[in-house]
Structure formats: C-alpha cells, structure tokens
Amino acid sequence: MSSYVGRFAPSPTGPLHFGSLIAALASYLDAKHHDGLWLLRIEDLDPPRELESAPKQIMSQLHACGLHWDQDVLFQHSRLDAYQSYLDTLSTVTYPCICPRSPSAYAGTCRMRTFSQTKTPYAIRLKTHKKPIEIADLFLGKQTFDNDLGDFIIKRKDGLFAYQLAVIIDDVYQKINHVIRGVDLLESTPRQIIIAQQLNLPEPTYGHIRLAVNPSGQKLSKQSHALEIDTSSPLVLLRQALIALGQDTQNRAISVTQLLTSAVRSWDRSLLPQTPFIFTGN
Ligand code: GLU
C-alpha cells in the first residue's frame, strides 16, 4: 500500500448525477492506480440545501457502480466542534462582517470591526493577503491565482460553517494528500490553501477534471436538472463515465469488478480531456 490517500466528498443535496459520478470515478481510479486509499466524506454542513435521503442514496449508487470506499464514512455534521476550535485559533486574522453577501471579491468594509463591539448575527471573514497562490495541478498544470481573492467567509451569518473551512480541516484530518475533483471547484482551491497556511496545516496535491455539460453547455447539476444516474446497468454507465474521462474502454469486461480492475490498471492522467464532455443522456 502506498501513502496515497484520496477521497470523494459529495454534498448530500440529491442523488448522484452523471457529473458527480465522473468526479467520483476519477478520484477512485487515480487513488487505486497509485495503490492508495479512497475515502468517502459526506459534506452535510448545510441542512437547508440537503435531502435527508441523499447520503443513503449516494452510498448505494456508489456501491452499485463497484466504487467501494475504504474506512468509515466521515459525516461533516459530526465535526462541528473541530471546526469551531480551529476557527478560535484564527481570531487574529478574522473579523465579524454584517454586510450582505457579495457576489464579487469583498471590498473589506468590515475589516476594522471587532467581535466584542459587533452584535450578532454576523458572518466571520478571513483576512486574505495579496501574495499569489500557486498550485501545481496534476491535470491542468501550474495555476497561479494572483489577483486579490477578497476576504472570504468561513462561518456564515446563519451560524453554519463555510465549505472552505470545513473541507480543508477534514482533508487534513482524514490525511487526504490527493484531492481530485471537478474544475468548478478550482477557484475554491486558493482559499483552502490560504486557510491551510494560516492554520499551519499540510496542503494536499490537487487535480481538477473537466466537467460534463449538457448540450446547452451548462454544468450538470441539480440546478440544470441533471437526472440521477440509473444504476440498473452499471457497466453501461461506467463505460460512459470512462469515455467522459478520455480513458480506454476497449476491454471485454463482463462485470463491474472486471471493468474497474482494468480501468484502474490502465488509468492514464494524460488522456483526460481538455474540454468538457457533452452529456446527452438527459
Ligand atoms: N462537497 C462539494 C460538492 O459536492 C465538493 C467538495 C470537494 O470535492 O472539495 O460540491
């Protein structure tokens, strides 16, 4: 066994659709090709957006596709105390913010506010710096984020911890050293790195894959009405996902296990497509 530890970390806002399946499969194949562990984390941090049935559905969809994870599933709702204690250690680089959520980089209006003088409810923002953040993306090559990201929220006004904070704390907690996920999260990566640097935590290696889009060019998502994957023919589904990942599908596997074994063996990062895969399934 190598020291590679990867993961799939879905938010339980609904069952898996084809876009989430290819992210799951890419992270699985990259981990198993490198003889690593592949963990599952359910990112249930935002109850208003979640479906109670989704964690169970996601797990049974993954099992139906032969994507069995190592170790116990980690649920983020069980980690709230850990997020709070890390947040407490960031008190010198955070401040309370009462501004409405801004879609663009935050201008820093509340930067001078102090916790003792601000009435709740407020969000908590992390002060960012203007130093460029560089990542050596496994698939996209060197990525430099040199513009000011703006101070960003790590705990929301409604009291919920933000994805950016929880995700890096848990990647480190689970000893994840390879994060393979969709390119839609690329812009989040420098923020997670800034938090890791502030907390003196190790930074994982990142690889962002091109996503599947529908014929109108929209990312497959709940918002674009992507349908849940049909796991009644997992071989067909997995072959389609392998095509989306640019991988070899010319094998004669007659079972999911055979197909995955061969896909793990032949997984080739250099074959990952440079453009989004157009999914015509729904
Ligand atoms: N939970 C996030 C989502 O489902 C993904 C987190 C990640 O892979 O870093 O979009």
CB 3 within 8 Å of CB 234? no
Please give the number of the atom of ligand 1 that sits closest to the Cα of 182. 8
Amino acid at 204: P
DSSP, res 228: B
Please give the number of the atom of ligand 1 that sits closest to the Cα of 181. 8
The protein residue whose alpha carbon is closest to atom 6 in ligand 1 is: 9
User: What tens digit of pLDDT does each residue of 156-210 get?
Assistant: 999 999 999 999 999 999 999 999 999 999 999 999 999 999 999 999 999 999 9
The confidence score (pLDDT) of residue 1 equals 60
If you average pLDDT over residues 40-67, what whole number do you get? 97
Instruction: Give the closest residue to 185 by CA, choosing from 59, 4, 26.
Output: 26
Q: How far is the CA of 134 from the centre of ligand 1 (A)?
A: 21
Residues in the chain: 282
If you average pLDDT over residues 113-142, what whole number do you get? 94
Please give the Cα distance from 42 to 257 (Å, whole number): 24
Ordered by where they begin, the domains of the chain are 1-72+210-282 (3.40.50.620)
Query: Can you give the pTM of this predicted structure?
Result: 0.95
Please give the number of the atom of ligand 1 that sits closest to the Cα of 7. 8
Residue 101: pLDDT band (50, 70, 90) is confident
Please give the Cα distance from 168 to 172 (Å, whole number): 6
Neighbours of 3 (CB within 10 A): 10
The confidence score (pLDDT) of residue 282 equals 58
Please give the Cα distance from 192 to 159 (Å, whole number): 20
Residue 218: pLDDT band (50, 70, 90) is confident
Q: Which tokens go with 226?
A: 């992507």
List, edge to edge, every strand of the sheet that includes 123-126: 94-97, 123-126, 152-155
- The DSSP secondary structure of 41-84, one letter per residue, reads EE----GGG--TTHHHHHHHHHHHTT-PPSSPPEEGGGGHHHHH
Q: Using a 6 Å cutoff on CB, does residue 167 contact ligand 1?
A: yes
Name which residue leads in pLDDT, 102 or 16. 16
CB 241 within 8 Å of CB 22? yes
First CA to last CA across the chain, in angstroms?
39
Please give the Cα distance from 242 to 272 (Å, whole number): 10
Beta-carbon contacts of 95 under 8 Å, excluding residues fewer than 6 positions away, are: 110, 111, 112, 113, 114, 115, 124, 125, 127, 151
Q: Using a 6 Å cutoff on CB, does residue 185 contact ligand 1?
A: yes
Q: Using a 6 Å cutoff on CB, does residue 186 contact ligand 1?
A: no
